[in-house]
Structure 1
Amino acid sequence: MLRTRVRTAAVMGRDQAKAAALANALGGSVTTGAWGAVPAGDIVIVAVLYDSVVPIVAEYGDALSGKTIIDISNPFNSGGDGLAIGESTSIAQEAAKAAPADAHVFKAFNTVFRHVLEKGRPLDVFVAGDNARAKAGVEAFIESLGLRPLDVGGLETAHWLEAASLVEMGLARHGVGHWDLALGVTEFHG
């Protein structure tokens, strides 16, 4: 597998405190980008509610040229029991349409609750995206955080990652009964 060294990653958010908390939780070379400034990192994590992702990617426009963009959002409906978008797309796919042609958009981290990520346990992070070289960089970044990246396929799979977050919400509300959980994969051999 092709591996790419990740130099820096930046978390952008309208709420600087939330962006800083996420950057701190991610650790490593992750910084917090000032709202409105050109993102400094090779990887830009868009940490906003789903309905702001596409407008922000469009607003930043050419400032995202050549960058790897990670969408962590989940497009929940107002009841939090369904998706607010159709089955033929995802927020990440819509962001890719708004991004510069040489940017690479991924869906990742959306099935890991922030407070669980902050606990620092080994976690699985599902990754959906199309560009193999950029995906290797995303995977290297995730590994640098002590997490296990799991490639779930191309960007068209992002819709199903968003739906998987609904399963996680259901488990938290009903099956497990608390929010201290994460989706993951257990491998069986032999």
Structure 2
Amino acid sequence: MSSISFIGLGTMVHAIATRAVAGGNTVEVLGRDSAKAEGLAAALGGGATAGTFGTVPAGDIVVLAVPYTSAVSVVARYGDALAGKVIIDITNTFDADATGLVTPDGTSGAQEIANAAPASAHVVKAFNTVFGHVIAQGRPLDVFFAGDDARAKASVSAFVESLGLRPLDVGGLEMARWLEGVGPLLMGLARHGVGSFDVALSVDIAD
């Protein structure tokens, strides 16, 4: 199993971390509100702990679960504390009405985060294509991910499997922009094509 630190205390953290604890992973949560972090760790159980925001995360894998608008500044604040870590970027980069992306053409939020991280850290884009409340339902889901480092991707893949989810590799980190584009697609599908946010994308592999 994996050692995971979550930076952030929101709905996605609660959903992923709950499944992480159930899957036998070691879990640490970190946030600016230390009391909230301690409360979340207690609610998760399974030996989950609350770390100190801004210090070296205990986990080999660090899940960056903060809004896109603050992600680069949070990574910059951590600086060398993230050296050697696998950073899972779960941020969404869509605009206010969720119909487009705010990142410039040809790049992605994940690539911006990678540029801000220490050279020895490896960023993998994952989890932004699934809604937190759907993850919390406990059903099997597909998790699409992208990254440039094979070992980092193998670590993320094993972590995803420990959650009872299916990891699907879409390629290098340049593919993160297309994963981020799934955000508006999902929002549009939920609002118009399905009429519910209890929706997830999956791949049907033909025999």
Pair in the same fold by TM > 0.5 = yes
5 Å-filtered alignment, 1:170-185, equals 170-185=188-203
CA RMSD of aligned residues (A): 1.4
- 2:6 counterpart residue number: 11
- Note the residue ranges of structure 1 that are not aligned, 5 or more in a row: 1-5
- 1:121 counterpart residue number: 139
Contact 1:77 1:84 in 2 (8 A): yes
Kindly provide the CA deviation profile for residues 64-117 of structure 1, in whole angstroms up to 9, marking residues without a partner as x: 000000110111111111111112111110000011001000100001100000
- 2:14 counterpart residue number: 21
- 2:158 counterpart residue number: 140
Contact 1:26 1:118 in 2 (8 A): no
**Counterpart amino acid of residue 100 in structure 1:** P
- Note the residue ranges of structure 2 that are not aligned, 5 or more in a row: 31-50
Contact 1:12 1:44 in 2 (8 A): yes
Q: Distance in 1 between matches of 2:13 and 2:183?
A: 23
Q: Distance in 1 between matches of 2:96 and 2:12?
A: 23
Q: Distance in 2 between matches of 1:182 and 1:19?
A: 15
Contact 1:108 1:127 in 2 (8 A): yes
SS across alignment from 2:170: strand
Kindly provide the CA deviation profile for residues 121-154 of structure 1, in whole angstroms up to 9, marking residues without a partner as x: 1100001000001110100000011100000000
Identity %: 58
Contact 2:144 2:170 in 1 (8 A): yes
Answering whether residue 104 of structure 2 is matched by residue 86 of structure 1, we say yes
Give the aligned length. Answer: 182
Q: Distance in 2 between matches of 1:26 and 1:173?
A: 30
Contact 2:2 2:159 in 1 (8 A): no
